[in-house]
């Protein structure tokens, strides 16, 4: 899940790096600024969406007409977040200069050029256009229109995407990846430039669900911290969830409890105390953990482990409605 030029002899690094970038992104010209090329790519596949973290020395990356003819149209829209350095991006007759914390969209179906000033570090999401669900589709009007991802909705998406690499693989990964892909694409669709609405940024429920799924182990996660990450008020966040089955607080609690069920029923966790499992699932107070678990499932965490160890999340426990 990682490419690193330090893993090969110096004389082979340029060719290795060029081919690695082309393989992990699209065919393009890779031109390091100096004789000593250094670079690293960490990557993860989430359904049919690809996440890339690429860092290296000063470069120019150029996608030419000949590259497109040779490699075809990948039918992807790319979301770029700049973590380090300054980069000038050109596509569709527009030029943007990006610094750390900025983001923009670019399209590999048409020529583009990236010119870095010094070292580079990007996080890039490569998304199938057909899954974005944009009413007007994707066209050249949405590319190379930079924005800030230092806070607000774009900042929340940036931190979510950054948390995906390096990957953390677990059992049940395929189903989790498909759900995560849906959440990611729903969130990103809100960042695609459209006609000005004049209203506040739209916070998709899918983004909140994805943030909860990635950060529920943090005991400080709450509706307040999620609202702050998305750049909206807590009352606005509650309005977004007004028509949902669960409130944001209940969503966080349920994610933690379901993780606890999986751990309590897993043979791999037999040597861990109930309190340790609670802490790992974002419920560090043993008394509170036992109380909310019993209220949700009708048995205490310890009783669940004694009765159903080895059955995991599919154990026949009595689940109470909320």
| Amino acid 231: pLDDT | 74
**Strands annotated E in 92-136:** 94-98, 102-107, 112-128
Closest CA to 63 of 117, 9, 14, 110: 110
CB-based contact 249:212 (threshold 8 Å): no
| Amino acid 322: pLDDT | 44
CB within 8 A of 220, min separation 6: which ones?
none
pLDDT single digits (tens) 149-177:
988 888 888 988 888 886 444 444 444 67
Q: Omega into 298 within 30° of 0, i.e. cis?
A: no
What is the sign, positive or negative, of the torsion defined by CA atoms of 272, 289, 266, 182? negative
Phi, psi of 292 (to 5 degrees): -70, -30
Q: At what angle do helices 286-297 and 248-264 cross, to 10 degrees?
A: 90
All structural domains of the chain with their residue ranges = 2-149, 249-314
pLDDT single digits (tens) 294-320:
999 999 999 999 887 655 444 444 444
More confident residue, 248 or 141: 248
Burial letters 37-57, b for 16+ CB under 10 A, else e: bebbbbbbebbebbbbbbbbb
> Average pLDDT, stretch 258-265?
93
pLDDT single digits (tens) 181-235:
877 887 787 787 753 444 445 677 878 888 898 889 999 999 999 888 777 889 8
| Amino acid 148: pLDDT | 92
Neighbour tally for 12: CB within 10 Å? 11
Phi, psi of 49 (to 5 degrees): -100, 140
CB within 8 A of 7, min separation 6: which ones?
none
* pTM (two decimals): 0.71
Domain 2-149 of CATH type 2.60.120.10? yes
């Amino acid at each position: 899940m990682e490419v690193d030029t330090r893993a090969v002899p110096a004389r082979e690094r340029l060719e290795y790096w060029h081919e690695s970038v082309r393989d992990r992104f699209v065919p393009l010209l890779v031109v390091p600024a100096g004789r000593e090329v250094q670079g690293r790519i960490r990557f993860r596949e989430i359904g049919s969406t690809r996440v890339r973290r690429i860092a290296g020395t000063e470069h120019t990356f150029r996608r030419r007409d000949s590259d497109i003819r040779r490699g075809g149209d990948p039918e992807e829209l790319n979301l770029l977040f700049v973590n380090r350095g300054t980069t000038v991006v050109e596509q569709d007759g527009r030029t943007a200069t990006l610094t750390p914390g900025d983001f923009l969209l670019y399209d590999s179906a048409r020529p583009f050029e990236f010119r870095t000033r010094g070292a580079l570090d990007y996080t890039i999401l490569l998304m199938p256009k057909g899954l974005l669900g944009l009413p007007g589709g994707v066209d050249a009007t949405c590319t190379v229109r930079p924005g800030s991802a230092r806070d607000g909705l774009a900042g929340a998406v940036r931190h979510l995407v950054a948390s995906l690499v390096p990957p953390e693989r677990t059992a049940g990964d395929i189903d989790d990846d498909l759900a995560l892909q849906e959440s990611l694409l729903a969130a990103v669709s809100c960042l695609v430039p459209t006609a000005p609405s004049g209203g506040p940024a739209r916070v998709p429920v899918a983004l909140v669900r994805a943030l909860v799924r990635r950060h529920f182990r943090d005991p400080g996660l709450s509706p307040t911290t999620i609202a702050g990450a998305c750049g909206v008020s807590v009352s606005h966040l509650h309005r977004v969830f007004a028509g949902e089955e669960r409130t944001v607080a209940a969503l966080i609690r349920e994610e933690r409890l379901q993780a606890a069920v999986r751990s309590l029923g897993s043979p791999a966790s037999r040597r861990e105390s109930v309190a340790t499992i609670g802490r790992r699932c974002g419920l560090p107070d043993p008394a509170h953990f036992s109380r909310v678990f019993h209220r949700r499932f009708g048995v205490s965490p310890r009783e669940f482990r004694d009765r159903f160890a080895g059955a995991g999340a599919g154990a026949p426990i009595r689940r109470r409605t909320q």
